[in-house]
Amino acid sequence: MIKHLLTLIWNRKKRSVLLIIELSLAFLILFSVFGFVLYNMDNYKTPLGFDTENIWMASLRMNSDPDSAERVETKALLLQSLRQIPEISEVSYSNPVSPFSGSTWQTSTIDNGFEMDVELAAADLNNDKTLGLNVVEGRWFNKEDKSAKYRPIVINKKMRMAYWPDSTAIGRIIKLNGESKIVGVIDNYKYHGEFSEEKNVVISLFAEHSDQNPTLIIRLKDGFDPTIEQDINRIIQQTTKGWKFSIENLESKRKFLNVDYWIPMVVLGSISGFLIFNVALGLFGVLVYNIKKRRGEIGLRRALGANPKSISNQFIFEILFLTSISILIALFFAIQFPIMGFFDVDTSLYIRAMFYSALVIYSLVLICTIYPSIQAARVHPATALHEE
Amino acid sequence: MIQLNNISKVYKTKTIETLALDNINLSVEKGEFLSIMGPSGCGKSTLLNIIGLLDEPSSGMINISDQAILEYKSKALAKFRNQKLGFIFQSFHLINDLSVIDNVELPLIYRNIGSSERKKLAEEALESVGLKNRMKHFPSQLSGGQKQRVAIARAIVGKPEIILADEPTGNLDSVMGGEVMDILLKLNKENSTTIVMVTHDKLMAEKTHKLIRLFDGSQVN
């Protein structure tokens, strides 16, 4: 029976070309959408690596003051003043490459013949406590690091696994803006946002004399009074005497940033959903038309011994076979992405996108086939043969 | 072989009832060649469809090969049709997307016969109608007479006991019609195949063993 149906499908191939093209294109559209959504969702599932609840960030824009000693003094005074507020549990500084700031500082270096692409950030001694960073190996910066021979750095686990998967990274000295010594490894650090891909991150100790505008990170205790923002605002204003600044809640910023990722996913999902719906309508129409055109054949098959179930199975087999051909053709193109390495993503993501696309196409085809195949099975042989 | 008792067929719509067959009693013996004649719309094809188990009578009883067919469910009916009956239609009903041999093999596919055995039987059937040399052709490449001969090959490939022919020469000229009729007569004579044929052609009908006439759904003498 299968050989017979394959012969029939082969002989009808010219009439199936458009259907095959339509299903192949539908697969490729779904593959792209699933690839994009899965990429984002995979990133989303990776922990941020720091807390966002109860954390406020103030971006300070220091006046152009050549006297850096005064800046250092003002910054220290600011920390001291803020720590006196009982609702504040910790305060620290980082450079502008801070969580959700949108700033990036990329560099690369060569270590033992390996090219390392990393993103740099800077933090002070208390940054780990303020942001709730999880040190998994080694330690966070301490006071002795300020006078250490090698510039101390803390890296994230991703970087550690990328370059030293089988040995410890602690104590290693790498050339990164001078010789730097790894003193600690933190778990995750997705400072670009929840949907961003985690990069190799190197955090160095924030220089007190840095001429960069610092970011003040404030961690509040649970159940803080919302009016505390006014107090923080007043203290910064009074202490810095005219520095410009803006205060943002890290949790609000996280949610706001996520919208930038949700919107394209929802838009793309809706557009592809609409396209797929049209494909389904088209497919349904083609199948119904096909059954109508082949009523004579159905009548004949019934006369020659086919029962209603075998008629409906025949039509389901035919369309599923054509779907498989379409998917195979589309897979040929889809598989080029991991082979050619068009995007720097894991092969498993492509495989999952292919699987889900095939699943949707097969489900869609099956749903669209149910009614026409039932219709085919219900064709009355005498009537169909008479019509012919 | 075929026994019809008090067969009636009524087609009902919401507003009208049409009596297509009225109390038909018919008996066809094994190896008999029966022809059914009558004007268009008199119920000839309806009667043939009922004998061929493609349609159900509104009332009455049918026995084929001593089996009370009306008690059969759809699946059993399909099996019975496949094994006991062969069909020939006026408009051939060949599947244009299948080659001649694939068309002839069709009844055997529903018997789950293996591919090589099917091919062998189909070649034999085609040879018996003189079309073995055309087995790779498609129906669109054949003349009307050749198409009908393919249809006959398809009807006989499974060696059924009964062949039901609905105006087999209706779409053919007299020469081709004569050739087709000769094949049917030969089948009847040499294989003792029971044949029930609907025809408009009096000359063809006269060549058969028995002739019944229908008029407005009733059997007339």
- Each domain of chain B, given as residue ranges in start order, spans 2-220
Is residue A143 within 8 Å of residue A125, measured between CB atoms? yes
Average pLDDT of A81-95?
89
Backbone angles phi, psi at A376, to 5 degrees: -65, -40
Whether A252 is in a domain gets the answer no
Contact A382 B54 (CB under 8 A): yes
**Predicted pLDDT at B219:** 84
Residues A167 and A217 in one domain: yes
Whether A321 is in a domain gets the answer yes
Residues A115 and A262 in one domain: no
Whether A54 is in a domain gets the answer no
Whole-angstrom distance, CA of residue A148 vs CA of residue A202: 17
Whether A52 is in a domain gets the answer no
**Predicted pLDDT at A73:** 84
Number of domains in chain A: 2
Does residue A351 have a pLDDT over 90? Answer: yes
Whole-angstrom distance, CA of residue A333 vs CA of residue B87: 48
Over residues A203-233, the pLDDT tens digits come to: 998 877 676 778 899 999 888 887 888 888 8
Whole-angstrom distance, CA of residue B209 vs CA of residue A27: 63
**Predicted pLDDT at A224:** 80
Is residue A354 within 8 Å of residue A330, measured between CB atoms? no
Residues A147 and A288 in one domain: no
Average pLDDT of A121-142?
92
Over residues A18-67, the pLDDT tens digits come to: 989 999 999 999 999 999 999 999 999 999 999 999 899 998 887 756 56
Residue A84 tokens, joined: 């006196």
Nearest alpha-carbon partner for B172 in B151, B196, B195, B194: B151
Whats the size of chain A, residue-wise?
A: 388
pLDDT band at A346 (very low <50, low <70, confident <90, very high): confident
pLDDT band at B99 (very low <50, low <70, confident <90, very high): very high
User: How would you classify residue A288: left for phi > 0, otherwise alpha for psi between -120 and 50, otherwise beta?
Assistant: alpha
Is residue A188 within 8 Å of residue A46, measured between CB atoms? yes
**Predicted pLDDT at A153:** 94
Residues A109 and A174 in one domain: yes
- Nearest-neighbour CA in chain B from A299: distance (Å): 9
Is residue A123 within 8 Å of residue A152, measured between CB atoms? no
- Nearest-neighbour CA in chain B from A296: distance (Å): 7
Over residues B151-206, the pLDDT tens digits come to: 988 988 888 889 999 888 887 788 888 888 888 888 888 888 899 999 888 888 88
Residue A218 tokens, joined: 């404030």
Residues of chain B found within 8 Å of residue A384, distances taken between Cβ atoms: none
**Predicted pLDDT at B204:** 86
Does residue B105 have a pLDDT over 80? Answer: yes
- Write the residue in B45, B75, B87 that is nearest to A303 by C-beta: B87
Whole-angstrom distance, CA of residue A239 vs CA of residue A232: 10
Residues of chain B found within 8 Å of residue A385, distances taken between Cβ atoms: 54, 89, 93
Whether A57 is in a domain gets the answer no
Return the residue of A nearest to B74 by Cα: A307
Average pLDDT in chain A: 88
**Predicted pLDDT at A358:** 96
Does residue B70 have a pLDDT over 80? Answer: no
Average pLDDT of B5-29?
87
Chain B contact for A298 (CB, 8 A cutoff): no
- Nearest-neighbour CA in chain A from B135: distance (Å): 15
Residues A223 and A325 in one domain: no
For residues A148 and A184, which has the higher predicted lDDT (pLDDT)? A184
Whole-angstrom distance, CA of residue B103 vs CA of residue B97: 9
- The answer to whether ipTM exceeds 0.95 is no
Whole-angstrom distance, CA of residue A154 vs CA of residue A204: 6
Residues A235 and A146 in one domain: yes
Contact A300 B45 (CB under 8 A): no
Q: Which domain holds residue A95?
A: 63-242
Whether A53 is in a domain gets the answer no
Whether A247 is in a domain gets the answer no
Residues A149 and A205 in one domain: yes
Residues A118 and A162 in one domain: yes
pLDDT band at A345 (very low <50, low <70, confident <90, very high): confident
Residues A71 and A185 in one domain: yes
Residues A278 and A334 in one domain: yes
Q: For B2-220, CATH number?
A: 3.40.50.300
